Structures are given as C-alpha cells and as structure tokens.
C-alpha cells in the first residue's frame, strides 16, 4: 500500500469515529450516528413594550377607572383637610409663649469693676486690654473702669473730666481698648465720679460740677464709651443740670443704647426706690442684700425692690471701690455664697476685680494671672491656696455661664419660698423654661427647709453646689425637706411640667 492510499484510509477511519453512537456502543448492521453542532446565544434581550397611547386612553375611559380616580381624589382632599384641622386645633390649644422682655446689654451678664486700673495691671489701660480674653472667659458683659480722669483730691480747680491721667494711659490706649473690647462683645463704662480720692465725691458743690459733667458725658460717649457711672448719686440728682444729663442718654440713633449708672450706699429699701424713680438711671447699684442682716430681712428687701421696679434697673453689688472685696466683707462669709446669691437674683450682678478668686484687700492682682503656674510650682501651702482659688474661679465661671444661657435666671420671676434668720430659698421661673431653685444657709448650723409651694416636684437636680460632698452635682435631691449644711448654697433645677 503506497503512501497516498494510507492517507485516505486514515481519513475514512476518522469519519467512522464521528458516526459512532453517543453511548459508545456500535450495534451490528447499523450506521454510526453523526455529530450535530448547535449555537446558543449567550444573552437574549427581551424587549417589553407597554400599552400605546391609544390603548391607555381607551382603558382610562372605562367606568371602573373613572370611579377609582374620583375615590382617590376625594380621599386625598379629606386627608389634607383633616391634617389642616388638626394643626389648627394644636395651635389653638397650645399654651402661649410669653414674649421675651426687652433687655439691654448690661442685663445680659455680670459687670466687672476695675476701680484701680494700675492695681489690676501694671500696664494700665494696655494691661486691661491684654486681659480681655480672660474676662471673656468669665462671661463678663461690661467693664466699669476707673475713675481715670485727672483730678487732685479735694481740689476742684484741678478737675479735668475729659482728660486721662497719664498714670493710667493715653487716649490712644483707651481707643484700642474700646475697639478690641467691642469685638469681643464687652462694653466699657467710665466711672466719672469727680472727686474720687477726696472726702466728698462732688466737692461739696454738686451744682457746679454737674454743669461740667454734662459736657464730659457727651465727650466720652462720642469717643465710643458705652456708659457713664457715678457714685454718691443722690447728691447730683437734685441739681438743675441732672435733667439735661439724663436726656443725653436717651438721644440714641437706633444703635446700642448708652447706659447711665449710679450707686448709693446706706439707704433703706424705700430710699432706694425713691432714688430710682427720681434719678431715672438705667442701673442703680446698692449694697443690698446686706450680709449683716438676717436672711428673712434680706428676702423682704429683695421682694420689695423687685415688686416696685423692673429687674433691668436693679444692680446687686457687695464690693467695689468703697465697699472693698467680697472676701473682705464682715461678717466673714464664704465667697461662694455671695457669688451664688448675686448671680441668681433678678437683676444685674456686679463684681469687683478679684472677687472671682476671693482676692482680699491689699493682695496684689498679679495672683489672678499666676494661679496655674503657682499651683504647679509652689510649696504645699501655696499649692493648696492656689488650688482653692482655681476652684473658686471655676465656680464663678459655671454660675456666669449658666445665668447667660437660662431664661429663668436672665429675666424670670422671683418667688420667695423660705426665709429664716440664717437661711433663705427662692425660685426663678420663666414661662415654659426650666425652673431654678436657690437655697442658701448663712448660719453655722445645718438647716432643714420646708418649702412653701404646692407646684414643686418631689425632686430636683443639683446644678451648682458649694459642697459637693453631701450634694453632688447632677444628683437628685428631695424637696419635701431640703437640708443644707452650715455655710452652704445650692442651685437646683427641674423641668416645666405644663
């Protein structure tokens, strides 16, 4: 067999293989099966076509669909009208919110008196500017500076109400201080008490000084000062020039209102009321409540003043250029009690520089700026003193922050709950806002208060306390019989019940 024949035989054998049955068996007398090749598409796209416009219109016009559409439309409008009616009912039945009373900048937070600018900072007015960040942290809304004008004690001829004593700084220093303070939301009030280092604040010639004061007030207000403060107010309000002075502070251009402030000590509650009415000042500082009086006398004084005058005109101050510091008051009372009382009364709290850390008369103000470093580097005794002052500063800051945020403390009503010779308690409430209960025990013995108010809840939460050992912050306290330890104050809160 030649080569060509062998190749043909191989091809025939291969064809025979293709005709083999798929089972592998070869039946006798039958021909082998062949192979069938089928191609299956991988993706089969199915196209759905909806009804045509003509078909849709034909279906939509049937009686069933027309009836269904009308039913759905009626249900929609019935639901909409029902929701509208429900909203109207809720609005009508909801309790009305009281309008927020008009407040001025001196009512929004504590005022801070810097009577001796050089004692507060060796750099005078520049030093005050450097401490604005610190004062801002204390939530101070206004500074009462000075007096800083030029005068020699008891010498009327040396009085220059429109010039700054070079010992304190210059006009440019004051301008820079004003600009930066205003950017931080802090207002500046100048104390223009004329003879502030002499025996009589008005040189025993109030009428003559009042005429010069009238021009001085306008001079400083045009310089950007936010208010004027005057001590020994009763002597000047009887002068002919006083009406003109008062009118200058009512001539506003629609922007920030300048404040006319004053103080007088030694007056009874009735005397203070008469002075407020006669003077027409925006804010009057008194030495009430007097810690030397019993607590029930203090409570009556506060209630009487609050009932006769808007709280926006009441200023509470227990320290200052003539009164000294809180820590130097007699009888000695923990500074925290003073701070709690002043921050929670209806009106503006006014503090002297250093009151936030319990600085005493004669102590240097540098201690205020070295607290943190001395607490770390001093001896054991110094560390203890500094740590106590840091804690006192934090206590002041917590009260100041709380008063600035809570409506009841800002402009709420004053409701007396309890008073005795050594303790008092009162409520501050505003509309639907959270309620605050303040209780203070000045005495040397513990006291149990039975609070006279049927609307009080069973318990209240501790927000601020002078003694966290028996009344921890955020703990719940029973109000049925409120117990306070010796020299202790507590600020409690509870929600509006509706």
Reported as a single tens digit per residue, the pLDDT across 190-231 is: 999 999 999 899 998 999 999 999 999 999 999 999 999 999
| Average per-residue pLDDT for the chain | 86
Class of 105-405 per CATH? alpha beta
Reported as a single tens digit per residue, the pLDDT across 295-327 is: 888 888 898 999 899 998 999 998 888 888 888
Class of 414-494 per CATH? mainly beta
Query: Of residues 480 and 454, which shows the higher confidence score?
Result: 480
The pLDDT assigned to 29 comes to 47
Pairing relationship of beta strands 314-317 and 348-352 according to DSSP bridges = parallel
Whether pLDDT at 31 is above 70: no
Instruction: Please tell me the pTM assigned to this model.
Output: 0.80
Reported as a single tens digit per residue, the pLDDT across 104-151 is: 999 999 999 999 999 898 889 999 999 999 999 999 999 999 999 999
- Residue 436: band (very low, low, confident or very high) from pLDDT cuts 50, 70, 90: very high
- Give domain limits for the chain: 105-405, 414-494
Whether pLDDT at 442 is above 70: yes
Whether pLDDT at 47 is above 50: yes
The pLDDT assigned to 30 comes to 47
pLDDT-above-70 percentage for the chain:
87
Whether pLDDT at 290 is above 90: no
Reported as a single tens digit per residue, the pLDDT across 353-390 is: 999 999 988 787 777 777 766 556 667 777 888 889 99
The pLDDT assigned to 154 comes to 93
């Amino acid at each position: 067999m030649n080569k060509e024949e062998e190749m043909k035989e191989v091809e025939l054998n291969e064809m025979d293989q293709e005709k083999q049955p798929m089972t592998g068996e070869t039946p006798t007398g039958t021909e082998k099966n062949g192979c069938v090749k089928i191609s299956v598409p991988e993706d089969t796209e199915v196209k759905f076509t909806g009804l045509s416009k003509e078909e849709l219109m034909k279906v939509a016009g049937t009686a069933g669909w027309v009836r269904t559409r009308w039913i759905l439309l009626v249900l929609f409008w019935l639901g909409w009208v029902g929701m509208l009616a429900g909203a109207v009912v809720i609005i009508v039945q909801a309790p009305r919110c009281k309008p927020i009373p008009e407040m001025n900048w001196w009512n929004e937070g504590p005022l801070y008196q810097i009577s001796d600018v050089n004692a507060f900072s060796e750099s005078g007015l520049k030093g005050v500017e450097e401490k604005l960040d610190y004062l801002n942290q204390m939530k101070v809304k206004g500074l009462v500076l000075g007096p800083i004008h030029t005068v020699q004690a008891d010498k009327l001829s040396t009085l220059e109400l429109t010039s700054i004593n070079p010992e304190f700084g210059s006009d440019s220093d004051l301008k820079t201080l004003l600009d930066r303070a205003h950017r931080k939301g802090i207002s500046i009030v100048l104390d223009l008490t004329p003879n502030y280092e002499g025996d009589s604040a008005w040189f025993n010639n109030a009428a003559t000084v009042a005429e010069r004061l009238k021009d001085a007030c306008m001079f400083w207000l045009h310089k950007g000062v936010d208010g004027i403060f005057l001590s020994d107010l009763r002597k000047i309000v009887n002068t002919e020039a006083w009406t003109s002075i008062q009118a200058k502070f009512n001539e506003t251009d629609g922007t920030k209102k300048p404040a006319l402030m004053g103080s007088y000590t030694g007056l009874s509650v009735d005397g203070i009321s008469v002075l407020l009415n006669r003077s027409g000042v925006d804010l009057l500082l008194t030495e009430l409540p007097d810690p030397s009086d019993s607590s029930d006398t203090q409570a009556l004084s506060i209630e009487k003043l609050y009932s006769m005058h808007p709280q926006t005109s009441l200023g509470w101050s227990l320290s200052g250029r003539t009164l000294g510091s809180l820590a130097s008051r007699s009888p000695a009372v923990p500074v925290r009690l003073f701070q709690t009382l002043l921050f929670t009364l209806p009106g503006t709290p006014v503090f002297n520089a250093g009151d936030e850390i319990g600085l005493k008369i004669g102590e240097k103000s540098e201690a205020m700026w070295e607290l943190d470093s001395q607490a770390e580097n001093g001896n054991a005794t110094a560390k203890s003193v500094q740590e106590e002052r840091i804690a006192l500063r934090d206590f002041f800051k917590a009260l100041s922050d709380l008063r600035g945020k809570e409506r009841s403390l800002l402009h709420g009503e004053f409701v007396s709950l309890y008073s005795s010779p050594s303790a008092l308690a009162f409520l501050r409430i505003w509309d639907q806002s959270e309620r605050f209960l303040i209780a203070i025990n000045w005495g040397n013995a513990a006291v149990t208060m039975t609070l006279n108010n049927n609307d009080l809840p069973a318990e209240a939460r501790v927000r601020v306390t002078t003694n966290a050992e028996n009344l921890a912050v955020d703990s719940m306290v029973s109000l049925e019989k409120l117990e306070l330890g010796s020299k202790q104050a507590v600020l409690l809160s509870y929600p509006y019940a509706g």
